[in-house]
Amino acid sequence: MKVTIKQRKNPAATKDIDKQEHLIALIPAGDWPELPYKEVLARRAEKQGLGDGTPFVTELPNGHDTRVSLARIDPGMAPFEQLTLARKLVAAHWEGKAAPARIAIITAGFSSETAAPLIEAVVAALLARAHSLPSYKSGAKTSRPLKTIEIFTAPAGLDLRRTLAEAEGNHLARSLTVLPPNALTPALYRQRVTELAKAHGWRMKFFDANTLRTLKAGAFLAVTQGSAAQDGGIVHLRYEPPTKIKTKSNKPALALVGKGICFDTGGHNLKAAKHMMGMHEDMAGSAVALGTLLALSELKVNFPVDCWLALAQNMISPTAYKQNDVVTALNGTTIEIVHTDAEGRMVLADTLALACKAKPGFIIDYATLTGACVYALGTRYSGAFTNRGELIHSLINAGVDSGERVWPFPMDGDYDKTLDSDIADIKQCTLEGEADHILAARFLNRFVDEKIPWLHLDLAAASHKGGLAHVPSATTGFGVRYTLNLVLDKQVMKT
């Protein structure tokens, strides 16, 4: 979806507002600044008891019934709260009357420095809402696509290219994640990735089952052996910066690794119906990795990016792996299987080991990995784990600044004792349920080269009822916006 953003340096006049069908207005908390239809808006807002930070929706008596959503905003509002308010302001324009093909944003009473992040939040929310997600409803109504966003009193130097790139990446992540499992098997997923690679000039390689056997990737193959289709494997994509923006120094690559379990039955440790429902979204981590690659490619970053997608299904069958099996991972580590529903860490183990062979400068993996992380945080935050303790503050601040919040968990080595096996190098997990999100991260740590900085994101916030921050759908695509802040603003690859 192509959206044109027009920036007007001048304030909106009444004649400008009268040309609009849809308008979002942002003003400071407290006194009303000068803006078109100020008296009408102030009177109606007072009548409805509008408080600061609460969206107010009305239609102007201007002959065009311009729909207005307005909020009085405390400039000190945190980015997450700004994005949440923006989502509510935007929602009013998709209710009742036809969805907008064009919409205007006006700010009044703010400094340029204060207005810029507020406008960015609204634009992010508009793009997230305007992107349609796949739907298989017969006779579904098709709304007019949003074509134009017009910004009045745009601050000097307002650059929304990154917001547009993040929106494209987030939309890709959400669109893939909501697809039903019969429309996104590993084979069908790979077809979609192949098309994306051709469109964006990414190099692509697929490690199929035979190749993985040659590499002795027994952890990955243990999970895929129960699938009749035998279409699982690891996809490797590579973005190279355009020659004209390459620096003389050879910058190391950023490696993005994603768990892509297209459906998870739990295997022989079969999930109950309540917990198997929604398991087509167990590939959300791979979709976020792919969406992040897309966003970075759109921005033409000046460093290479590797993307590794672990595509598989965890099926129950006579050939499926089982408890007490012992398998050997790609890096030679032997693993005792304890629970077949802990398959995500198995496919990630070999994928991380493979990614490390390319010696990237930084690795980030994304996975809907553990229920324990959801129990610990709920679905408003995601969990962060790293082998570089000095990054903790940057990890937290990237979440605060991006509005995609994370919280770090301990990675102390004494947790490893819990994963001691009597027969193999390591147990896959335990059956006691003790801090499984931490144990999973400690398990994965065995497959990451200690010389390479690594971040593991356990995506507890991959799905949040009612939407999260600026994203209106329960499927959030959490991680794309966070990663760009971490890599581009916090510059963790330089640490």
Identify the residue whose tokens are 């980015």: 79
Grade residue 143 by pLDDT with cuts at 50, 70 and 90: low
Q: Is residue 336 within a helix (H) or strand (E), and if so which, with residue range?
A: strand 334-336
Q: Which residues pair with residue 118 across a beta bridge?
A: none
At a CB cut-off of 8 Å and minimum separation 6, what does 206 contact?
190, 233, 234, 235, 236
Q: What is the average per-residue pLDDT within 377-396?
A: 98
Q: What whole-number distance in Å separates Cα of residue 48 and Cα of residue 56?
A: 8
Asked if pLDDT for residue 152 goes beyond 80, the answer is yes
Instruction: Give the pLDDT confidence of 154-176 residue by residue, as tens digits.
Output: 999 999 999 999 999 999 999 99
pLDDT category, 145, cuts 50, 70, 90?
A: confident
Q: What pLDDT, in 10s, does the model give residues 313-322?
A: 999 999 999 9
CA pair distance 133, 477, nearest whole angstrom = 12
Share of the chain above pLDDT 90, in %: 89
Examine the residue annotation and report whether 137 is marked as an active-site residue of this protein: no
Task: Write down the pLDDT at residue 96.
Answer: 72
Instruction: Name residue, tokens 């012992």.
Output: 326
Going by pLDDT thresholds of 50, 70 and 90, the confidence category of residue 251 is confident
55, 6 contact by CB (below 8 A): no
Catalytic choice (102, 147, 246, 271):
271
Lowest mean pLDDT among 136-145, 278-287, 288-297, 441-450: 136-145
Mean pLDDT across the stretch 442-451? 98
C-alpha 295/C-alpha 314 separation (Å) is 29
Rounded CA gap, 211 and 484, in Å? 33
Length of the chain: 495
Does residue 426 register a pLDDT over 70? yes
> E strands within 430-481?
454-458
* Tens-digit pLDDT profile for residues 103-129: 999 999 999 999 999 999 999 999 999
- Distance between CA atoms of residues 218 and 225, nearest Å: 10
Whose structure tokens read 């490797």?
236
Confidence of residue 8 (pLDDT cuts 50, 70, 90): very high
Residue 53 has pLDDT above 80, yes or no: no
Which pTM value belongs to this model? 0.96
Contacts (Cβ under 8 Å, ≥6 apart) of 159: none
Q: Which of 87, 162, 174, 345 is catalytic?
A: 345
What's the pLDDT band for 483 if we cut at 50, 70, 90?
A: very high
Q: Read off the pLDDT of residues 66-91 as tens digits, 9 standing for 90 and up.
A: 999 999 998 889 999 999 999 999 99
Q: What is the pLDDT of residue 267?
A: 98
CB 289 within 8 A of CB 309: yes
Q: Answer whether 349's CB lies under 8 Å from 447's CB.
A: yes
Decide if 260 contacts 283 (C-beta within 8 A). yes
Determine whether 271 is an active site residue: yes
At 263-280, the pLDDT tens digits run 999 999 999 999 999 999
* Predicted local confidence at residue 52, as pLDDT: 60
CB 60 within 8 A of CB 17: yes
Residue 144 has pLDDT above 70, yes or no: no
pLDDT over threshold 70, residue 403: yes
Is residue 320 within 8 Å of residue 327, measured between CB atoms?
A: no
| Domains located in the chain, CATH noted | 4-156 (3.40.220.10), 164-494 (3.40.630.10)
Q: What is the largest CA-CA distance in the chain?
A: 79
Q: What's the rounded mean pLDDT across residues 471-494? A: 97
Tell me if residue 329 falls in helix, strand or coil. coil
Strand order in the sheet with 102-107: 4-8, 148-152, 102-107, 22-28, 67-73, 56-59
Beta-carbon-side half-sphere exposure of residue 432 (alpha carbons within 13 Å): 7
pLDDT band at 421, cuts 50/70/90?
A: very high
The pLDDT confidence band at residue 27, using thresholds 50, 70 and 90, is: very high
| Strand ranges, E, within 361-461 | 362-367, 382-386, 406-408, 426-427, 454-458
What gap in Å lies between CA 94 and CA 84, rounded to an integer? 16
Predicted local confidence at residue 142, as pLDDT? 59
Query: Rounded distance, CA 476 to CA 133, Å?
Result: 11
Amino acid letter, 41 = L
| Cβ proximity of 377 and 468 under 8 Å | no
Radius of gyration for the alpha carbons in the chain, expressed in angstroms and rounded = 24
